[in-house]
Structure 1
């Protein structure tokens, strides 16, 4: 593993409505993994975690180098697509992961979250507050957010969430291509901060070219 790493989190909607899109989702994950491994300079710097969510979120794959990337199982019977709980969950997971990486003396790029969904949030009143906490610029671990909408995804909601970039599959964009393009842009235009800790005294992340206001 390189001395600098980019933690990536794939937040995958696994609610019932995703049954028609699970093959597309898994194909995108395979394409993303293949593109990362095709570039040895990138492969050693990218770590990836997979989180599934419907009514509640869960870690499907912890943060590991991309030697392998799990596929998502067929969605269960849960029809709810709650965005708020996964944003709250991500904040805790990311903070713990960054702390562990820094304990190993690694320089950590600002994390990236890829939010992959076909649906509309079933918690429209409460999810914005959880999202604001996750993307708080005063929080050291605040991630870049990239959204990819499958099927008839709620374009307005995903545009609000995609603070870095936002894509829709119905526009002809391939998911794997969108993911690797975002990663390559970050690795080529930003440097991880040196000597950062989670002491609460850090300056917030600086925006770089490509970040949306």
Structure 2
């Protein structure tokens, strides 16, 4: 199988099995198939880490997105320790590379977008996130609902502009790239099994996502 990805706004292909086993196998939603409105059924939007209400995830029109649509988290609830998740349901993987374009639109408490892998539940996963208020990119593990930073790097994260964030997890090795430049490499052994991939925000971040691409590494 080649390395072309199924992506938000890309050509639709049949869904992969629940666990992505073939090396290089790729999956992701084709947003062009979904109408503007509620979150597509391939996503679970009720999960959130921390306190406060879950996120309000929707498909919205966006002329700057790949095909004129984006998945957006539009709730501006200011609860500080609040991390809404939109979990992509059709596949799971342990060794995986997940990439997404995001645009941090608004947020006073926080203005961030992230991509999570190896989700076991709303309180256990790895996440890479970029923050437009802090101008940094960090890698975290979330264990039992507690967020712990593994590594971080400074980077200019402009608001209201598209950026690409990629998280690669292979065994105990992790790397994070931002706009095509690798910023973080780290090791961690907390979560070794397979899990879901999810879109992620924090607090009152109003963030849009485009072109979610997921590639199994084994």
| TM-score where L is the length of structure 2 | 0.29
Higher strand share: 2
- TM-score under structure 1 length normalisation: 0.29
Highest relative contact order (Cα 8 Å, sep 6+), 1 or 2? Answer: 2
